[in-house]
Structure 1
């Protein structure tokens, strides 16, 4: 048994926000109330001044396994996730080989059984993520794929998108889309604007994102499929998603912490550690993203955790791969840049990192209630800390050396303490 004493319990589903005790027996929550008797309890966690919330859920991570395990693997990725307060993550399919077949999918799912946290796997929408031919979605779902995405590569063929949405609607699974039309990108990873011009680079126009988002919003309205617009970066895209939702589209949208925390100007300081797809954009875009978080247009905060080796990142800008790690700083960036600045309440932040991601994938997670699986994060929202090390194999983060507020103290997954600060 584990007894969590005197923590501020926040549950976004029931809207509980109260100082309570939580009792865990084996892998389930069995009691939530004040002053639970502790005479038979093996482990007691004193949570005074701390928040007790559902374990965080990230619907967008790259654990680089198989094919790129020098950057990350499912075990180092799980350690990184647990440190960040995550108890469930959804892995992308752009590995080597691509997860477009049952053999690769089974390889990963078998390995997931030995990790500290809950790992779920997507399959690609198209074979080889080449955008030409659909995978056998029905078969891959039956083999354990929780959704489908060609993340990292946009699907340019609209007929393929339409076919995938029709099939996803039939199967009741989500499709997640990377929205960047290469016709509007001269150099990826940097916004086309004043900073790209200052650096003498062509960049990625917001049109690359906006045009593909508009297409997929229209098709989502038409088909009724459940779709997820990944890592929204453009303010115009926020408006387009809001419009589509108002017309009945079953759309979820996610934003990454770096996009609501930084702008294109930060590329001057962080260089390749500020390079990602889609790129950091303008302050106007950043504020539109926050507006979307506030009004519910953007439902989810997801890291797009993308490890790369230092050798790969420490080259000239155009030769470096895009992406940064994010699991260990995500919650703190939300507290520092959204909650402390009064954009979101702590309840709203937790909802976008737990309940809403669970709903996207139809998970019985993201909640704290009696009888539910004991996936819990305990964190101190006011503790300041300096980002100085990572549990990930990689450290390609612009936030290295920065002081943030909000520190994870415990992560409990399936009733087991998997991280203790």
Structure 2
């Protein structure tokens, strides 16, 4: 297929080049609203109905049994087990480093303030199944939940036509100490974790990627339950200069494109020759992919853009705010400091985005659809809520009393002023 190259577009044209693939969101929302209402009112009955309708399986039990979890571990390919364990170790090491000590600050004499983290007690994890069961996402979400010591972790994932859950998903869940695993997917799984059913406990916050129906359900239910972040289809932007290896860049673009036909990949380079070489390498590598048809669908929304220099490329990237950003170019501290909006950044020719997806240690649950302008990816902090504390001595209150009284009375809140004065009278 011929990838279109945009040569030196004007800054006024950038916004148009940043457009994501459009979806019929109103039709999706209507369908999801009906599913949420059904699950909220009919619980497990609705979940079993949707399992038959969408997954093609009649389920007796929604809960995965201990026997199924144990069997999955025994059936696993030893090479895959070792790979998962190495990934787990790296992810655990990186997320453990995010623990923060309690710092007590004396803001004025006799006034002590500090903040403490408390684990969110009930967490729900959504793990996509389907053509690409994302067992790696179990590690990305289950490990920080385990480090934070969340008391209850619920995992929902769709079964196959035999009513089975992918062995690697069950094995990864067991490594994270997750035992409450349920055979349900799609918007109905999100509704079940938000409202609770006879089988599935209601949770306080839901994490995990999913298709457009899962995303819509999370957004609709934000008034009922907290979510990790708004999300959309996966995306990648690569900035390349003469130092880039075209074959590496092409491989990175295709790695992201094979996620789904609604994914988007963008190349921004400082050299027309590089753009042409990448386009040619994409054609060669695409023909060899098992998921060629899916990747081709994503490449319909691809952009290959040539700009004058790296500063312009970074400015374009900040406007697009990609989920993943690869810097296949000469990088210095100054360039890195100019990056203001990206979910996760991969630096140099030997940092493919795939390593972040699986095993480098960073989290792959990241803001998409331009939300990187304001949202961070999932981290250990995502599984905590922070509570502030303050303690004043009598002298401390005395020193600040006049300030509080003056401010309270200026706002017309006399009782606030009185609460201070009565302690000093």
Which TM-score band applies after superposition, normalised by the shorter structure? Answer: under 0.3
Q: Report the structure, 1 or 2, having the larger strand content.
A: 1
Q: Please identify which structure carries the higher helix content.
A: 2
